[in-house]
Amino acid sequence: MNAIISASDLAGALAGANPPVLLDVRWQLSLATAAGEPPFDGRAAYGAGHLPGAVFVDLDRELASAPGGHGRHPLPDLAVFGAAMRRAGVSSGRPVVVYDGGLGWGAARAWWLLRWTGHPDVRVLDGGLPSWEGPLETSVPRPAEGDFVPVSGADGLLDADGAAALARSGVLLDARAGERYRGEVEPIDRVGGHIPGAVSAPTTENVGADGRFLPAGELGARFGELGVSPGVPVGVYCGSGVSGAHEVLALAVAGIPAALYVGSWSEWSSDPERPVAVGPDPR
């Protein structure tokens, strides 16, 4: 099953016999609060217009637990996550399509969590809301309660030690901007740089100018140039496990399974005992 869906295919699915549940996960990493400005309000954006029938999901409160020692967006409490999904109408026997404002990061975080906790049929709207040419609505739907019960996945998740080991034994991709990987700037976390052995792979390079994913063949070639090859385990991290989920999604589009280090750099860099590499060289 493809991990993404086009707007035209989504329109067809919504008109079918078993239409997907729609989740709106509009979210942006905002540095505005540091300047005293209000952060991006995804719920307000949702209220101004969303896909018909879509339910808003709050990334910071329902797809993550409170910031702390495990990073800015640790794994959510599964009871909280499950309740949010059921409130949105998510059931195991019904497909789910997730979208956001176009960047793809928030939608990818929801996609990854649903897949990791056992939902069998989840896709991301390629290009997000800007790709949708149909009508929008402002009313808030009240779907019937779903039955999805999330269960922690056995695979696909890395902790700090696992990420460090994978950087030595496989391929660990750093999905942040190159200047943050090199340690030239660090606007959020305690220190700049990267996990020793990690390879710079900005997630922004997985999409075209329209925000849609590059074709699977092009993505496969890109990851091949970064050292990904058959049989070699792959992991991804970013700042706090959001844009990294988007890179895991890009890898899935290319047919490459990958694990996510959810704590990512926000967890790694908070521990002064963990080594930090700077510059363009992985080591």
Give Cα 49 to chain centroid, integer Å: 22
Q: Are 21 and 95 in contact (CB under 8 A)?
A: yes
**DSSP state for residue 279 in the 8-state scheme:** S
Which of the residues 88, 238, 249, 256 is marked catalytic? 238
Q: Are 260 and 235 in contact (CB under 8 A)?
A: yes
Enter the tokens of residue 270.
């908070």
Q: CA 24 to CA 204: how far, in whole Å? A: 21
Q: For the beta carbon of residue 64, count every other beta carbon within 10 angstroms.
A: 24
Taking alpha carbons only, the member of 270, 274, 275, 242 closest to residue 68 is: 270
Q: Are 65 and 52 in contact (CB under 8 A)?
A: no
Phi then psi dihedrals of residue 158, to 5 deg? -115, 145
Is 144 known to be catalytic?
no
Q: Which residues are catalytic?
A: 238
